């Protein structure tokens, strides 16, 4: 492998023009020292400035005469060498999602190599449980909430990983210091923490699995032992024991000497969940998340590579942790949109995990309470093996759900944003000192226009999507560019109350104060969660009973369990139905199912109220009935009729330019190119657009979009490749083109 006199190198510059390998001669002093995957320094460009690059291949085949070849200047020390696997993975991502090779490589590699070890610490309780309880009581009286949080945990667990306490439990280092000086806890560092004998005692064995759980575990491991590698989908409501199955599968893999990647969306990486993994696998497990510094990330990689870890938990980037002998990838909450990257390459972790699993001979397990249409479709087609868990193992019944028709409310003279039913229930809960979650189903931008009297939403006559409100009383279709003026009256019922829907969480909060004097409200939305810790802070405060109501956007439907919440209200369930893309129904169903599931997690029974203008829409009806299967059947019909994913594949081509005309012109050219290509190939598919993107301008950059739909993914890649070639021939400076395959959000 290290034989050869030449190195083919990808230069570390993200630009289409240099997105190919360049050949360099390997000088005598580096003979035999350079191998594929290494990061090296090379002279590049007219000035022969030193640049970094990645060696893709070492070869004896000269691409051009020796005397013309520049030499590799040196190896970048301390760098991580890119395994051939990583290069393969990057190449696959480049091909399937459209990006430069260097952007793909950077996605699968840790960005920087500066090593900075953070000490790993653990906290040990020094007092007995009784003594700790009494200190805890004192802290509660003194309103020392952070201290109380740690102490409450320490009553349950004698030893806690420090990172978990400062991170997920949101306790400041100073607070811990103070507990230490008081002699209540001790804080010890890494070497001690890593002592396996000590940890054994803190470890906890798994629960005895139920028959349904054990069946899943046995089947996956049996397949594995017999050399069968598959993708499995576990469809199970929250609390049905999926995580317990994951834990037992990981255990099985560890027994077999394999490592596992556990993907969990960052927002669902709660303290309780992490603790379960720590308790089960001790310091053989580590967490990756966005708060880690580059140095820390690199550290994790090194630990994984050296065999110090068996499990890594994290969001989609955890997929790229280089385990020597990967056996299993688990992807919890498989339907989450955060599994799709929003930057180039716009990869989806599910598909990437599948490719990685194939490459590494690993199994793949997906889990969700509301599987994505993609996953369920594949399961139905027999590509994935489907398992169902439909029992809550800790009791706690599913909430009783009522659907309230907002049109009727207005008719009966109720102009409040709360229906009469919801008002009654709120009052009742306030009396009983139980907690409430109110949830606004809103995705922020694209304000559509609807009628307050009948709920009618202005739609594009050509596309069956809602029109978006633009400046100057205009409404525009983001799929086809159709444009019209906003009418004076509702076309359906002639009411003059037309509204660009923007009613936000803040208005709801104010309305609560007005209608329920003395009510204590916490609000969680984009505004209140700007700083890094605010998200955790709000959730902790609510968990500790500092408020009666938590009002928020979709952020609040995930993660934390609040046993005292017995009422969940969805204020305008159909808002997300009006998102102008084909996933609106699916997203609505998922959000409602999750929202409804927030009530009644504890001992007390829960009730949920869904307020809507469209009580008959299948997404709402099926969510209220908590019937996934029935929802799927309706939704897949719609996808098949419209040739939307997963029935077909879709590629969005996003063109951006500082000058509007230039962007428009290029988008037009690319659309023609794509259409011509279809003609030549006589393939059956559609090219839609170009149209203005749903956010037409960001930072003074204009955005245009073309959509291509095809049954065969390969056909889309064909178009993408053709567009890439064409762009290279143009050598554009100002315009930029990006691809998004099977997009999860409207561009």
- Integer Cα distance of 143 and 123 in angstroms: 22
Binding part of the chain for Zn ion, among 19-27, 283-291, 454-462, 701-709 by CB under 5 A, reads: 454-462
Give φ, ψ of 52 to 5 degrees.
-95, 155
* Strand arrangement, sheet containing 649-657: 685-698, 701-710, 649-657, 736-741
CB of 266 to ligand ADP, least distance (A): 17
- Integer Cα distance of 226 and 305 in angstroms: 26
Binding part of the chain for ligand ADP, among 59-67, 139-147, 242-250, 427-435 by CB under 6 A, reads: 242-250
Which residues are CB-neighbours of 264 under 8 A, at least 6 positions away? Answer: 273, 313, 314, 315, 332, 333
Q: Three-state SS for 572?
A: coil
| Binding flag, residue 210, ligand ADP (CB under 6 A) | yes
Which C-beta is closer to ligand ADP: that of 100 or that of 594? 594
| Binding flag, residue 267, ligand ADP (CB under 6 A) | no
| DSSP H or E run through 316 | none
Which C-beta is closer to ligand ADP: that of 393 or that of 543? 393
Polymer length of the chain: 747
CB of 275 to ligand ADP, least distance (A): 12
Binding part of the chain for ligand ADP, among 83-91, 183-191, 204-212, 581-589 by CB under 6 A, reads: 204-212
Nearest Cα to Cα of residue 239 among 563, 572, 688, 707: 563
CB of 647 to Zn ion, least distance (A): 20
CB of 208 to ligand ADP, least distance (A): 6
| Binding flag, residue 626, ligand ADP (CB under 6 A) | no
Triad 320, 2, 11: Cα angle to 5°: 55
Binding part of the chain for ligand ADP, among 6-14, 241-249, 405-413, 461-469 by CB under 6 A, reads: 241-249
Residues 487-516 as x/- pattern, contact with Zn ion by CB under 5 A: ---x-xx-x---------------------
Binding part of the chain for Zn ion, among 310-318, 455-463, 547-555, 725-733 by CB under 5 A, reads: 455-463
User: What secondary structure letter does DSSP report for 16?
Assistant: G
Give φ, ψ of 577 to 5 degrees.
-70, -20
- Integer Cα distance of 610 and 620 in angstroms: 8
What does 490 interact with, of Zn ion, ligand ADP, none (CB < 5 to 8 A by kind)?
A: Zn ion
CA within 13 Å, CB half, 383: 11
Q: Three-state SS for 564?
A: coil
User: Token digits for 676?
Assistant: 């011509």
Q: CA-CA distances (angstroms) from residue 265 to 109, 314, 332, 392?
A: 20, 7, 8, 22
Q: Is the peptide bond before 112 cis (omega within 30 degrees of 0)?
A: no
| Number of residues located near ligand ADP, criterion CB under 6 A | 15
Which C-beta is closer to ligand ADP: that of 392 or that of 722? 392
Give φ, ψ of 68 to 5 degrees.
-90, -10
- Integer Cα distance of 36 and 54 in angstroms: 8
| Binding flag, residue 698, ligand ADP (CB under 6 A) | no
What does 479 interact with, of ligand ADP, Zn ion, none (CB < 5 to 8 A by kind)?
A: Zn ion
| Binding flag, residue 597, ligand ADP (CB under 6 A) | no
- Integer Cα distance of 682 and 696 in angstroms: 32
Which C-beta is closer to ligand ADP: that of 166 or that of 564? 564
Which C-beta is closer to Zn ion: that of 93 or that of 490? 490
Binding part of the chain for ligand ADP, among 37-45, 95-103, 209-217, 405-413 by CB under 6 A, reads: 209-217
Which C-beta is closer to Zn ion: that of 101 or that of 460? 460
Which runs of E-coded beta strand occur in 190-310?
231-236, 259-263, 285-287
CB of 588 to ligand ADP, least distance (A): 22
What does 210 interact with, of ligand ADP, Zn ion, none (CB < 5 to 8 A by kind)?
A: ligand ADP
| Binding flag, residue 238, ligand ADP (CB under 6 A) | yes
Among 110, 239, 569, 597, binds ligand ADP (CB under 6 A): 239
Which C-beta is closer to ligand ADP: that of 236 or that of 327? 236
Nearest Cα to Cα of residue 448 among 583, 589, 580: 580
What does 607 interact with, of Zn ion, ligand ADP, none (CB < 5 to 8 A by kind)?
A: none
3-state SS of 652-709?
EEEEEECCHHHHHHHHHHHHHHHHHHHHHHCCCEEEEEEEEEEEEEECCEEEEEEEEE
What does 100 interact with, of ligand ADP, Zn ion, none (CB < 5 to 8 A by kind)?
A: none
Output the furthest CA–CA distance in the chain (Å, rounded).
88
Which C-beta is closer to Zn ion: that of 237 or that of 465? 465
Residues 34-63 as x/- pattern, contact with Zn ion by CB under 5 A: ------------------------------
Among 151, 453, 538, 571, binds Zn ion (CB under 5 A): 453
* Strand arrangement, sheet containing 121-125: 159-161, 121-125, 185-189
Binding part of the chain for Zn ion, among 339-347, 365-373, 460-468, 572-580 by CB under 5 A, reads: 460-468
Q: Which residues pair with 57 in a beta bridge?
A: 8
Q: Is the peptide bond before 269 cis (omega within 30 degrees of 0)?
A: no
Among 8, 96, 240, 612, binds ligand ADP (CB under 6 A): 240
Binding part of the chain for Zn ion, among 55-63, 290-298, 474-482, 734-742 by CB under 5 A, reads: 474-482
| Binding flag, residue 394, ligand ADP (CB under 6 A) | yes
Classify the C-alpha dihedral 556-558-560-563 as positive or negative: positive
Q: CA-CA distances (angstroms) from residue 635 to 373, 403, 492, 617, 744?
A: 8, 20, 26, 11, 16
| Binding flag, residue 601, ligand ADP (CB under 6 A) | no
CB of 462 to Zn ion, least distance (A): 4
Which C-beta is closer to ligand ADP: that of 228 or that of 394? 394
Q: Which residues pair with 521 in a beta bridge?
A: 549
User: Token digits for 695?
Assistant: 């956010």
Nearest Cα to Cα of residue 436 among 322, 511, 512, 378: 512
| Binding flag, residue 371, ligand ADP (CB under 6 A) | no
Alpha helices in 226-293 (DSSP H): 242-255, 271-281
Nearest Cα to Cα of residue 10 among 57, 60, 74, 79: 57
| Binding flag, residue 656, ligand ADP (CB under 6 A) | no
User: Token digits for 566?
Assistant: 């017995």
| Binding flag, residue 207, ligand ADP (CB under 6 A) | yes
| Binding flag, residue 242, ligand ADP (CB under 6 A) | yes
Alpha helices in 495-583 (DSSP H): 505-515, 534-543
What does 463 interact with, of Zn ion, ligand ADP, none (CB < 5 to 8 A by kind)?
A: Zn ion
Among 20, 432, 462, 489, binds Zn ion (CB under 5 A): 462
Q: Is the peptide bond before 345 cis (omega within 30 degrees of 0)?
A: yes
- Integer Cα distance of 588 and 596 in angstroms: 12
CB of 743 to Zn ion, least distance (A): 17
| Binding flag, residue 250, ligand ADP (CB under 6 A) | no
What does 361 interact with, of ligand ADP, Zn ion, none (CB < 5 to 8 A by kind)?
A: none
What does 209 interact with, of Zn ion, ligand ADP, none (CB < 5 to 8 A by kind)?
A: ligand ADP
Among 52, 85, 192, 482, binds Zn ion (CB under 5 A): 482
Among 241, 314, 689, 743, binds ligand ADP (CB under 6 A): 241
Q: How would you label 130-157 residue by residue, b for 16+ Cβ within 10 Å and e otherwise?
A: eebeebbeebeeeebbbbbbbbbbbbeb
User: Token digits for 423?
Assistant: 């008002």
Give φ, ψ of 585 to 5 degrees.
-65, -45
| Binding flag, residue 456, Zn ion (CB under 5 A) | yes
Binding part of the chain for ligand ADP, among 223-231, 232-240, 290-298, 483-491 by CB under 6 A, reads: 232-240
| Binding flag, residue 463, Zn ion (CB under 5 A) | yes
Binding site for ligand ADP (CB under 6 A): 207-210, 213, 236, 238-244, 393-394
Binding site for Zn ion (CB under 5 A): 451, 453-454, 456, 460, 462-463, 477, 479-480, 482, 490, 492-493, 495
């Amino acid at each position: 492998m290290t034989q050869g006199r030449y190195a083919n190198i990808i230069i570390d510059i993200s630009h289409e023009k240099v997105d190919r390998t360049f050949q360099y001669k390997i000088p005598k002093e580096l003979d035999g020292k350079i191998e594929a995957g290494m990061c090296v320094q090379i002279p590049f460009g007219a000035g022969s400035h030193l640049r970094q690059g990645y060696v893709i291949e070492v070869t004896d085949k000269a691409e051009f005469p020796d005397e013309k070849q520049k030499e590799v200047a040196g190896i970048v020390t301390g760098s991580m060498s890119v395994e051939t696997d990583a290069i393969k993975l990057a190449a696959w991502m480049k091909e399937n999602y459209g990006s430069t090779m260097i952007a793909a490589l950077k996605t699968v590699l840790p960005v920087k190599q500066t090593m900075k070890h953070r000490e790993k610490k653990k906290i040990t309780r020094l007092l007995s449980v009784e003594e700790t309880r009494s200190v805890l009581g004192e802290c509660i009286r003194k309103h020392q909430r952070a201290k109380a949080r740690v102490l409450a945990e320490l009553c349950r667990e004698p030893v806690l990983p420090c990172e978990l306490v400062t991170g997920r439990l949101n306790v400041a280092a100073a607070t811990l210091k103070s507990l230490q000086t008081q002699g209540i806890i001790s804080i010890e560092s890494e070497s001690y923490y890593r002592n396996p004998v000590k940890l054994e005692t803190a470890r906890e064995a798994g629960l005895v699995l139920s028959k349904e759980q054990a069946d899943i575990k046995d089947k996956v491991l049996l397949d594995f032992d017999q050399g069968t590698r598959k993708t499995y989908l576990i469809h199970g409501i929250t609390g049905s024991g999926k995580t317990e199955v994951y834990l037992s599968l990981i255990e099985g893999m560890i027994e077999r000497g394999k490592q596992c990647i556990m993907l969990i969306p960052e927002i669902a990486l709660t303290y309780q969940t992490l603790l379960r993994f720590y308790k089960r696998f001790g310091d053989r497990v580590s967490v990756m998340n966005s708060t880690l510094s580059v140095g820390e990330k690199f550290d994790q990689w090194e630990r994984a590579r050296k065999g110090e870890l068996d499990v890594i938990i994290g969001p989609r980037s955890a997929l790229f942790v280089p385990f020597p002998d990967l056996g299993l990838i688990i992807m919890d909450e498989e339907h989450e949109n955060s599994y799709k990257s929003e930057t180039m390459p716009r990869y989806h972790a599910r598909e990437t995990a599948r490719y990685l699993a194939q490459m590494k001979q690993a199994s793949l397990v997906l889990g969700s309470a509301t599987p994505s249409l993609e996953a369920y479709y594949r399961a139905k087609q027999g590509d994935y093996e489907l398992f169902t868990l439909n029992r809550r193992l800790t009791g706690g019944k599913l909430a009783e759900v009522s659907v309230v028709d907002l049109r009727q409310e207005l008719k009966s003279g109720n102009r409040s944003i709360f229906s009469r039913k919801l008002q009654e229930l709120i009052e009742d809960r306030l009396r009983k000192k139980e907690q409430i979650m109110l949830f606004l189903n809103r995705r922020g931008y694209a304000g559509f226009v609807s009628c307050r009297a009948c709920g009618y939403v202005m739609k594009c006559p050509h596309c069956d999507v809602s029109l978006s409100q633009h400046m100057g009383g205009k409404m525009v279709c983001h799929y086809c560019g159709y444009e019209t003026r906003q009418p004076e009256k509702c076309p359906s019922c002639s009411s003059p109350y037309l509204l660009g829907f923007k009613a936000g969480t803040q208005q709801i909060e104010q309305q609560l104060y007005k209608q329920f004097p003395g009510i204590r409200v916490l609000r969680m939305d984009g505004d209140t969660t700007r700083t890094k810790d605010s998200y955790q802070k709000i959730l902790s405060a609510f968990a500790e009973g500092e408020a009666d109501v938590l009002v928020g956007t979709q952020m609040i439907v995930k993660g934390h369990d609040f046993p005292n919440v017995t009422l969940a209200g969805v204020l305008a369930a159909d808002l997300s139905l009006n998102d102008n893309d084909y996933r609106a129904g699916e997203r609505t169903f998922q959000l409602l199912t999750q929202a409804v599931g927030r009530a009644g997690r504890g001992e007390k029974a829960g009730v949920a109220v869904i307020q809507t203008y469209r009580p008959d829409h299948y997404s709402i009806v099926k969510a209220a009935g908590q019937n996934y299967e029935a929802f799927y059947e309706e939704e897949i019909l719609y996808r098949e009729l419209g040739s939307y994913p997963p029935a077909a594949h879709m590629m969005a081509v996003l063109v951006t330019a500082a000058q509007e005309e230039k962007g428009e012109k290029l988008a037009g050219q690319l659309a023609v190119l794509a259409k011509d290509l279809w003609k030549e190939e006589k393939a059956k598919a559609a090219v839609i657009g170009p149209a203005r993107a749903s956010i037409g301008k960001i930072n003074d950059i204009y955005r245009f979009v073309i959509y291509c739909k095809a049954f065969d993914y390969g056909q889309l890649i064909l178009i993408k490749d053709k567009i890439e070639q064409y762009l290279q021939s143009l050598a554009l400076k100002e315009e930029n083109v990006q691809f998004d395959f099977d997009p999860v959000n409207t561009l």
